[in-house]
Amino acid sequence: MSVRTRADLDALPGYVPGRSIPGAIKLASNEVSLGPLPSVVEAIAQAAGHINRYPDSGAGELVARLARKLDVSEDQVAVGCGSVTLCQQLVQATCTPDDEVMFAWRSFEAYPIITQVVGAAQVRVPLTEGHELDLDAMAAAVTPKTRLIYLCNPNNPTGTAHPKAAIERFIAAVPDDVLIIIDEAYGEFVENPDIADGVELAKEQWAAGRDNVAVLRTFSKAYGLAGLRVGYLIAPEAVTAAVRKVFVPFAVNMVAQVAAIASLDAEDELLARCRDIVGERGRVRAALIEAGYEVPVTEANFVWLPLGERTAAFNEHCLSHKVVVRAFVGEGARVTISTPEENDAFLAAATSFPR
């Protein structure tokens, strides 16, 4: 007799991470190619000598630093094992199998997975022809069963982002008992000043009496700590309290907490790297457009090539040039912006692809 597991999991697609191929340039996972700063490495090395002890389960020092940085109370900050874990905790804290979670599609591929794992229903709203979140369609799709909405801004994998005014209109159109999560995993790479700063927007909404807006951020991207898994949530106290009730104890390890704090200490230097990436992003996008590709305006550390049925062939072509991109077969390819040398290698592959 076989052990019985949930039958609905048979239809659940697994999360597909970016591929790693020895000797190839990996541009598939939106990682920062440069390693951690020496000061962060030193802090990690020192913390390694204490890993016989459990970490602070509530990440108190890191929570306090983030609260001071963002001018919120410590009760409005929750830390998790990457922002994706907080995504799952938010569904667990707000939804039952009778409830719905809404998100744009295509967007962050973990949204449907975590929603189904928790047992809630998922509502996918197609992107616009311009590869943006269709905020009007999302607002119109809200039902009495809607409990949680994810707004990935900038959106993964398209890189498109909405200005503050558009997000404000969306919030005003959604009932105030529906939790809206602004997922800003790539917020540090935003160049357009009109794009919403989610935390400032959320604080304005709270002050106006709207306690249904929260923000997710991560240390994985701009801060270069993808391998250590630290994310954080800024939300009204009732939301963070509920999220803490469903967390896995000691989920954020000691080394990760120390590295995150050290990264905050070196924030100016790390954000200067982001500006370099933004400059490269503009150069790569301009070169791709000159080569005949459609490339939406991106505010993230990657570009999106909506190649449709040609995606698989493009992916294989890049692999033959020792460049690994993130292919969503039948839709498009997402390509991380890296160092000038690695970007040039990708451009050489892209421009030699038959069009």
**Residue 1 forms part of a structural domain:** no
Residue 184 shares a structural domain with residue 211: yes
- What local confidence, expressed as pLDDT, does residue 34 receive? 87
Using alpha carbons only, how large is the chain's radius of gyration in Å?
20
CB hemisphere CA count around 75 (13 angstroms) = 5
Please list, in sequence order, all residues whose beta carbon lies within 8 angstroms of the beta carbon of residue 290, skipping any fewer than 6 positions away: none
Residue 314 shares a structural domain with residue 191: no
The domain of 219 spans 38-265
CB hemisphere CA count around 223 (13 angstroms) = 30
Residue 282 shares a structural domain with residue 149: no
- What local confidence, expressed as pLDDT, does residue 355 receive? 79
User: Considering 218, 233, 265, which residue would you say is the last residue of a domain?
Assistant: 265
Give me the residues of the chain with pLDDT under 50, please: none
| Residue 86 token pair | 């907080």
Residue 26 shares a structural domain with residue 130: no
**Residue 274 forms part of a structural domain:** yes
Residue 161 shares a structural domain with residue 275: no
**Residue 85 forms part of a structural domain:** yes
User: Considering 265, 287, 314, which residue would you say is the last residue of a domain?
Assistant: 265
- What local confidence, expressed as pLDDT, does residue 342 receive? 98
The structure tokens 């701009």 sit at 222
CATH number, domain of 314, equals 3.90.1150.10
Q: Is the peptide bond before 217 cis (omega within 30 degrees of 0)?
A: no
**Residue 237 forms part of a structural domain:** yes
The number of distinct structural domains making up the chain is: 2
Please list, in sequence order, all residues whose beta carbon lies within 8 angstroms of the beta carbon of residue 227, skipping any fewer than 6 positions away: none
Residue 255 shares a structural domain with residue 133: yes
By the 8 A CB rule, do 263 and 40 touch? yes
**Residue 156 forms part of a structural domain:** yes
Residue 82 shares a structural domain with residue 13: no
pTM for the full predicted model: 0.94
Judging by beta carbons within 10 Å of its beta carbon (0-12, 13-18, 19+), is residue 4 exposed, middle or buried? exposed
